[in-house]
Amino acid sequence: MRYILETNRLILRELNPNDAKSFYDLNSNPNVIKYTGNVVFKNEEEATEFLVNYQDYKLNGYGRWAVILKSTNTFIGWCGLKFDGVENETDIGFRFFEEEWGKGYATESAIACLQYGFEKLKLKRIIGRAMKANIGSIKVLEKIGLEYERDTYLDGKDAVIYKIEKPDSR
């Protein structure tokens, strides 16, 4: 289990099969996955299988990371960077248990991920994708410094792409 980042309140580490129950529970809430295009895992075993086969760390050196609340050592969601080989872009994403919404965890973890992406991974540009109806995620993207780039479609729905470029590459 590799620790990646630490913020004031959070630890970000690689996801692993031991996260399956939390991962399953997170994706079981229809409000949490409402704007993701993802389907609910059928059971905990399916979540385990997903985590066992998650290859982003090996293929790209980074991916989505478990977000652990330091004060309780509890899995509260995930945040991280994902390389899209088709678009040749890296996007930032996050997903948290509904009871953790509005506490600033998405913003806090996403800012740390952007810094990691620019400083450690030497990325030049990071994007954020969100369905237009997902006002909460769009607010987080704006709060962490991403700017609107263009409209698009995600899973057949109206969406937006936001972007941020490495400060010295503008």
pLDDT digits over 100-135, tens only? 999 999 999 999 999 999 999 999 999 999 999 999
How confident is the model over 28-44, as pLDDT tens digits? 999 999 998 888 899 99
DSSP string, 42-91: SSHHHHHHHHHT--HHHHHS--EEEEEETTTTEEEEEEEEEEETTTTEEE
Does residue 84 lie in a domain region? yes
Calpha distance 157→103 (Å, rounded): 28
Q: Considering the entire predicted model, what is its pTM? A: 0.95
Domain of residue 49: give its range: 3-123
Does residue 128 lie in a domain region? no
pLDDT band at 2 (very low <50, low <70, confident <90, very high): confident
Burial 122-133 (b: 16+ CB within 10 A, else e): ebeebbbbbbee
pLDDT band at 97 (very low <50, low <70, confident <90, very high): very high
| pLDDT greater than 80 at residue 144 | yes
CATH number of the domain residue 84 falls in: 3.40.630.30
Does residue 136 lie in a domain region? no
Does residue 29 lie in a domain region? yes
Does residue 137 lie in a domain region? no
More confident residue, 86 or 128: 128
Question: For residue 169, what pLDDT is reported?
Answer: 53
Does residue 72 lie in a domain region? yes
Does residue 166 lie in a domain region? no
Calpha distance 120→82 (Å, rounded): 15
**Number of separate domains in the chain:** 1
Give the percent of the chain with pLDDT over 70: 98
